Structure 1
Amino acid sequence: MGCAVSNNNVVTTSTHVIPVPIASNTKMSNIDASHISTASNKHTTNILIASHTTQQTISETLAQKIVDQCLSCYLLNETTPQSLSARANAIQWCDVFVVVVSRFYQRTPFCMEALNYAKDRHKPIIAILAECTFRPYGALGAILASAIRSIVLSDDASFLHAVSEIIASTRTEMITNKNPLNVTDLSQINDNDMMHTFPQGSSTCTVLICTADDGDFVGRLIHESLLNTQLSLIVENLSKPDATCSVTQCTVFMPILTPQLEQTPLCRAALEQARFHCKQIVPVIAVEKWRPEGWLGLIIAGRVFFRIFDQETANKPFYDSNPITNLRVATEIACQPFPSETEREAIEKNALQIELDICKSKLSIWPPKRKSHVINSMKARQPVRVQLQEPHADSYFEHTHHSITRITFKAPPAIVDQYGLPKRKLLDCMISYQWGKQNLVREIYEDLRMRNVETWFDIWGSMQGSTNDAMATGVECAKVILVFLSKKYIESTNCRLELQYSVQRGKAFVILHTEPNIALQQWILEAIEGFPQYDVYSYDVLKQLINGVPMIDVIVQAVRSLAQAQPPDPVDDCSAEIFELRSLLDDARDALSAETGEMRYRTCTRCGQQYDNYLKNGCKKHSAYYLGGGSGLLEDQWVCCRQQTTDSPGCTSCEHIDQPRVFVEDPYYGTSTWKPA
C-alpha cells in the first residue's frame, strides 16, 4: 500500500477499550431445549440446518417437522450463534449438515465459512434448493456437488418430501458415521463467551502479524523476511500482559496459528474482530504436524494457509519458489484494493440500466414480453463429445519443451472488465491433479503454455483467499478439465470434489493415467467415457511419436478440439436485483430482434459456435501464420501453436464473426493465413 516499513518487531501502543461489535440476534426456531440431546448419547440423531436469515422461515418449518419426528435439530445462520466456539461446536455436534441454498447464503461470508467447515469436518451435506432462479456456483456449487441429497422446495408438499429425505439420509449416514464424544451438548453452549470489551491498539499498518508466545519466533521471522517489501508491518504478541491489538487499523491480518493462540481469549477476540471488519486474513500455521480443529479450524476453513515453522522451512526450496516467497505473494495480493460487493453491483447496475434505456428507446412496447428464467438446478449440464482425428505427420515434427520460472514473480494486478469489475477469464483447460504429481504437471503445463493453451492450476498466485472458491472458479472458467489420474487422486477428498463439480458443470475431459491399474468408481467411468485418455507414466512418454506426432502435441490438439466444441458456461454470480435486470435486458434484446428482424444469435464462421451478437467474446484466432504446403522438410503447422491443419482451432482470444473467410497464401514467403483471421 506504499506505507513506510516499520523497523520494530513489536510496537507498544496506547490502549483504547472499545465495545466489541455484536451482530443483532435472529430469532431461533421455537424448539424445546429437551429436543437437543447430548452428543455423547450414541442413540441421538443430530441435524443442523444452516441458512441465511432471509430463509429463516424455511429453516424453522423444516426444523419443527424434524423435531416432530423425535430427532434433535439446531438452527445456524450468519448471526446465530455469535461466538466462534459456539458455531464450531454446533457443526461438530451434527450428524448431518442441511443447508438451505440461496443467493444470500452464497454471498454471505459467515454462511460460507460454516459450509466450508462442515466440508472440512467431512459432514454429510444435504442441499435444500430454495430459489428456482439460482444455480449455486463457486465454493457453494462445488461443495454441493458432493452432497448426499439435493432437494428442491417448490410447494407445501415438497416440505414433507424434504423432511422425509432428510430423515432417511440421516439414518443411513448414522450407520457408518459417529460423532466425536468431546462435543458440548448444545443446550449447554454459552453463546455469550465473546469479550464485551476489546483492548484496541492504535498502530496503523498494512499487515498486522498476530501471535501468542509459542508463535512469536515465527511471527518475527516473517516480519524480518517481509521487510524488503513496500508494506508496513508490525508484530503484536497477544499473550503479553496488557496486550492490545490493532486489528481494526490494518489491511491484512496475519495470525500465527499455534495451540497457545487457540487457547488465548484475546486472540480469539482479535480474529472475531478481523471477521467482523472483513479484513483479509492470511493464516500461517507455526507448529509442525498440527492443525486447529475447533473455533480456529472454523476460521481457516476453506482458506489458503501457509506452514512455516522456522528459518529452514521458510526458505526451503520448492521447485522454483519457497514458502516465504509464496506467503509474500499472497500478502501482496491481499493488500491490493478491491471494490466491495455493493460497489461492484452498483457499477454493473448502472451499466445495465444504460443498456436497458437504449432498448427501451427502440422498442414500441415496454416492458418487453417476459420469458421464464427458472433454472433446473438438479440437472447437470452435459458436455459435447467430439470425434478426434487420428494424429498423423508426413514430415519432421520434433518434440520441443521450454522451462519457465517465477524468480522475479510479482503479485499480478487486478483484472477488470470495461466497467472496472473483476471478470472471469475464459480458459481452454484447467489441470486437476493430486499434489504428489506436481513434477509431471509442471512440465506439461510448460508445454501447454508454450503452445498458447490458456491453462489454470493452483500455483504461482493462482490460489488466493478461499481454496474452494479458487478451485470452483477454475472449473467454471475452463472448457476442458485435464485430469492427472493417480491412486492418490482417487483417494483425495479435494480431488474428488473437483471432479464431481466438473461433471456437474458439464465439462469435457482429457484424461492422463499417470499410474497403471487405477480402480475407478462407476460414476467416474461414466463421466470420462468417450473422452480421450492417454497413459503418461513419465514425461519421457510425451516425446514418443504417434504416427509421427509427439504425444504432447496429440494431447494439446485434443484439448483444443474439445474446448472449441463446448458451449459457454454462464455463472449467475449476482444478487437477485442484478439477476432481474440481466433477465430484463435479455428479454428486451429478444424483443428488439423480433421487431427489427435482425438476428440476435448467429453462427461464427471461425469456430462454428452459435453466439449472441451483443456478447461476441469467446472465440479464438491464430496469432501467426501457417507454414507449409505439404512438400517441406518440416511438418505443416501454425507457428503460433504447432497445430497441423489449416482449419484447426485458434490460440488467441478474440470476438466471434459471421463474415465469410478465405485462406490466403503469400507466395513470396510461402506462408498462409485466414482473411479475416
Structure 2
Amino acid sequence: MGCGASNNVAADDSQHVPNASVKSTSSRSLQEDQRKQQTTERVSAAPQASTTASTSNTMNILISCHTNQQQIAEQIKNNLSKLRFTCYIINETTPESIVARANLIRWCNVFIVNISRMYQQTAFCMETINYAKDVRKPVIAIYAESNFQPYGALGAISASAIQSIVLTNDGVSENIIAQLSNAISSQENKKNTGKNVTDPGKIKTDNNSVNLIYNDKPCTVLICTTDEGLPVAKLIYNEFSAKNLNALVENLSDANATCSVRQCIVFIPILSAGFEKKPACRIAFEEARQLQIPIIPVMSAIDWKPQDWLGITVAGATYFRIYTQVSAYKPLYDSNRMTDLRVAVEIACQPRPSQAEREQTEMKILKEKIEECKNKLQTWPPSRKVRTINSTTDRQPVRVAIAEPNATLAFNHIHHTITRMDIKAPPPILDEYGLPKRVQLDCMISYQWDNQIFVRTVYEDMLMREVKAWFDIYGSMQGNTNDAMATGVECAKVMLVFLSKPYVESTNCQLEFRYAVKRGKAFVIIRTQPNIQMEQWMTEAIQGFPQYNAFSYDYLEKPINGVPTIDVIVQAIRTLAQAQPTETIDDCSAELFELRSLLDDARDALYNDAGQTRYKTCTRCNQQFDEFTKGGCKKHRAYYMGGTILEGRWVCCRQQATDSPGCEPCDHTDAVRVYTQNPDYGTWTWEPA
C-alpha cells in the first residue's frame, strides 16, 4: 500500500470549539423530536478523572475500553492515580460529545487501549484508537482476552504499541501496574504543549443554544457544506444528478438552513475550516454518526487539516480531495477523483447488514454440522483444544532457500504497458459492503507514494506473470484506510517492499511494515535508493530474505546470471508465498468463534475414533490440508516449453523450474503427480496439474 503523511493529523495551534447544546425543530411529531433530541443534545461533561495529582506536572493518561471491560479500566485508573498519573476513561458511550472525546485524545500523553472482541466490533471504540494514531499518541496495548488477536486497524495500530501486556487470571496485578508505569514514564519527553487542548474537567456545556431545523425531505445523498465548500458541493451535485443519484445540497451557513440528515442514506460533508467551526455542521455530523449513516468526507480546502472535533469523526477515513473542477476530473490512471467518489457513494447506498445478520447464516450451517458430528461420536462434548494466543509475540514466517538464478539460453524481458482497456485490477479484498474478504494474495506491494509510477510499472510486469498482487491504487481502497491496509497485509503471503529513505521515515509505512512483522509475513525487498538507514527492528525483520537494488526501472531489466532481475524477483515471491501456511483471522463474534472451534474439535474427535490421521500433505505445495479445506493451492494453467533454443519456462508465468509454484488457484491434492510430455508438441505438463 502506498504510504504518505496522515490526512488527519491535527495541528497544535488551533482553538477549541465549545460544545453547544442543541434545540432541534422538525415537522415530525413532538414524541419523535424528543426521542431524536436525546441523540443530538451533547453534554460536554467528561468522565470523572483521578484527582490525586496536579495536571501541570504529571503525565495525562487516557484509558480506552468497551463497557464490557470497564471494571478492568477502572482498576487500571485507580492504581495509576496512586502513582500520581492523571487518568480518564473513554468508552463507546462516555463522554457522549465528540468535542469532549476528541479533546481527551489530544489531551493525553499516553493512550492505553484495552483490547477485546467487542472493542474491535464497536465503531465508537475504533474511532478513538484511529484518532490516537492520527495525532501520533504513544499507545499501550492491553490484551484482555486470551483467545483473541486483534485484526484490521486495531491489529495494525496495536502492533506498533510502545508496550504490549497480556492480562492473566491474576487480573490487574502489581506487576502489570509496574509495567504500565515504566512505559508511561518513558514518554515523559513527549508531553503536550497545551495547544489546542482544554483541561477535560473544564469543558462545560455551552449556554448558547443552536437551532438546527430538521426537515423531512427525503434524499439518497446529503451533501452538507458551508459557504467555503459550496462550489465543490455543486460540482458533486451536478455529477450525481447526471448519473441519476438522488442528491441534495444543504448550505448550513445560511441563516434559515434546514438539515435532512435524518432522511439521507449517505452523508457527504464538504470539509473546510469553516465547516469545523460551524456548530450546526457539528450537530448534523453527530446526528449522522449516531444514526450510523455512512459518512464519506470530501476535502475542499488545500493544505488544511481538521483541528478539533472533526478529526475524530473522520479518523482513518478515505478522503476524496476535490478542490476545483480540474482536480475533480483530472485523470488518475484509469479513473478520476469524482468517479471514485461516485463509486464509493454507490457502494455505501447498498443495504449493509449488521455483523449479527452476516453471521447468522454461517452459525446455522455450523450448528447443523456440529449436530452431525455429535450423532457420530461416542462421547460428547469432544476434547477441547486450548486456543490461547500470546498476542505480544510475533508470528514467525517460514524462511526457505531461494535458488540462485541461472539461464544459459535466451531469456529476454519485454515490458508490456497495460492500458485501461486490458488491465486486470487485483482481486478486491473488500466485499460490496466494504468489509474484509479473505482473498489469498501472493503479495502486497508496500511503498511510499513518491515511488508510485515506478511501482505501477513493476505491477504491470507482475500482472503479465500471473502474480496475484495488490496495491492501493487498484485494490478497492474503501472506508477506513487503516482497515484497508491491515486487510491487505492479512491476505498477503509476502510483502514486496519498495524501500526508500522516505519509506523508513514515514509513520504510515512503518505502521504497515510493523504489522507485516506481527503477522509473520515473508519479505522481498527492492531498494530504490542507496545507503538507506533503517532501525534495528526493521533490519532484523528482513534479514535472510531476498533483497535487490533497483534505483530505476533499468535495473529490473538487467540479467542476473542470464535471468532478468524482474523474473528473479517474481520467482522469489512465488517460492516464498508457497512456503507460507494460510493464516486464519478470527474476525467474528465470540459466539461464532466458539462454534467454529467446537466443530474443529469435533472433527478431530471423529478422526481419532476412526484411528485415522486428519491432515494430509499436498503433493503440489507440501502444505497440510484436510477434506474440509477449500482452495489454498496453485497449479500451472498452461505448459512448460523450451530448453533447446530458448530457456525453459512455464509459458503461463515464466517460472523456470519444472516443479515451480503454480499460478492458478486450486484445491490441494495428495494424488501422485507425473511430469508428462506431449509428443505432438514437445511440451510438458503435470498429471494431474
Question: 1:621-677: CA deviations, max 9, x gaps?
Answer: 11111123x22x222111111111110001011111111111111111221111111
Distance (whole Å) between structure 1 residues aligned to residue 207 and residue 640 of structure 2: 70
Number of residue pairs aligned between Structure 1 and Structure 2: 657
Contact 1:484 1:513 in 2 (8 A): yes
Question: 1:281-312: CA deviations, max 9, x gaps?
Answer: 11111111101021101111111112111122
Matched, 1:63 2:77: yes
**Structure 2 counterpart of 1:4:** none
**Structure 1 counterpart of 2:223:** 209
Matched, 1:22 2:39: yes
Distance (whole Å) between structure 1 residues aligned to residue 661 and residue 423 of structure 2: 31
Matched, 1:368 2:382: yes
| 1:182 to partner: Cα distance | 3.5
Contact 1:36 1:187 in 2 (8 A): no
Distance (whole Å) between structure 2 residues aligned to residue 337 and residue 409 of structure 1: 30
Distance (whole Å) between structure 2 residues aligned to residue 593 and residue 44 of structure 1: 60
**Structure 2 counterpart of 1:8:** none
| 1:410 to partner: Cα distance | 12
Contact 1:36 1:74 in 2 (8 A): no
| 1:338 to partner: Cα distance | 3.4
| Superposition pairs of residues 191-202 of structure 1, within 5 angstroms | 199-202=213-216
| 1:58 to partner: Cα distance | 0.3
**Structure 2 counterpart of 1:218:** 232
SS of the residue aligned with 1:459? helix
Instruction: Return 5+ residue gaps in structure 2 as ranges.
Output: 1-24
| 1:146 to partner: Cα distance | 0.8
Distance (whole Å) between structure 1 residues aligned to residue 178 and residue 165 of structure 2: 11
Q: 1:80 to 1:305 in 2, by over 3 A?
A: same
Q: Which has the higher contact order (CA 8 A, sep 6+)?
A: 2
2:327 to 296, 313, 317: 313
| 1:373 to partner: Cα distance | 1.1
Matched, 1:78 2:92: yes
**Structure 1 counterpart of 2:196:** 182
Q: 1:287 to 1:48 in 2, by over 3 A?
A: same
| 1:180 to partner: Cα distance | 3.0
| Superposition pairs of residues 577-656 of structure 1, within 5 angstroms | 577-628=591-642, 630-631=643-644, 633-656=645-668
Q: 1:511 to 1:161 in 2, by over 3 A?
A: same
Contact 2:153 2:482 in 1 (8 A): yes
SS of the residue aligned with 1:226? helix
| 1:139 to partner: Cα distance | 0.4
Q: Which amino acid aligns with 1:140?
A: L
**Structure 1 counterpart of 2:120:** 106
Question: 1:169-199: CA deviations, max 9, x gaps?
Answer: 2222122443433311111123689989853
Contact 1:82 1:191 in 2 (8 A): no
Question: 1:7-62: CA deviations, max 9, x gaps?
Answer: xxxxxx98548333439999x99956644755xx2x13110000000000000111
Query: Which has the larger displacement, 605-614 or 401-410?
Result: 401-410
| Superposition pairs of residues 305-454 of structure 1, within 5 angstroms | 305-406=319-420, 423-454=437-468
SS of the residue aligned with 2:173? helix
Instruction: Return 5+ residue gaps in structure 1 as ranges.
Output: 1-12
Distance (whole Å) between structure 2 residues aligned to residue 193 and residue 161 of structure 1: 46
Contact 1:37 1:185 in 2 (8 A): no
Distance (whole Å) between structure 2 residues aligned to residue 83 and residue 500 of structure 1: 33
Q: CA RMSD in A?
A: 2.7
Matched, 1:241 2:258: no
Matched, 1:51 2:65: yes
Q: 1:521 to 1:251 in 2, by over 3 A?
A: same
Distance (whole Å) between structure 2 residues aligned to residue 24 and residue 675 of structure 1: 70
Q: Which amino acid aligns with 1:155?
A: N
**Structure 2 counterpart of 1:147:** 161
Distance (whole Å) between structure 2 residues aligned to residue 364 and residue 68 of structure 1: 56
Normalised to the residue count of structure 2, the TM-score between the two structures is 0.91
Q: Which amino acid aligns with 1:645?
A: A
Contact 1:428 1:453 in 2 (8 A): yes
Distance (whole Å) between structure 2 residues aligned to residue 314 and residue 29 of structure 1: 41
Matched, 1:169 2:172: no
Contact 1:605 1:659 in 2 (8 A): yes
**Structure 2 counterpart of 1:159:** 173
| 1:595 to partner: Cα distance | 1.0
Q: 1:408 to 1:423 in 2, by over 3 A?
A: same
Distance (whole Å) between structure 1 residues aligned to residue 392 and residue 59 of structure 2: 27
SS of the residue aligned with 2:473? coil
Distance (whole Å) between structure 1 residues aligned to residue 419 and residue 473 of structure 2: 11
Q: 1:195 to 1:383 in 2, by over 3 A?
A: farther
**Structure 2 counterpart of 1:674:** 686
Distance (whole Å) between structure 1 residues aligned to residue 115 and residue 507 of structure 2: 22
Contact 2:641 2:683 in 1 (8 A): yes
Q: Which amino acid aligns with 2:253?
A: S
Matched, 1:260 2:298: no
Question: 1:477-529: CA deviations, max 9, x gaps?
Answer: 00000000000001100000000000010000000000011011111110000
| 1:71 to partner: Cα distance | 1.6
SS of the residue aligned with 2:39? coil
**Structure 1 counterpart of 2:520:** 506
Query: Which has the larger displacement, 497-506 or 386-395?
Result: 386-395
Q: 1:196 to 1:660 in 2, by over 3 A?
A: farther
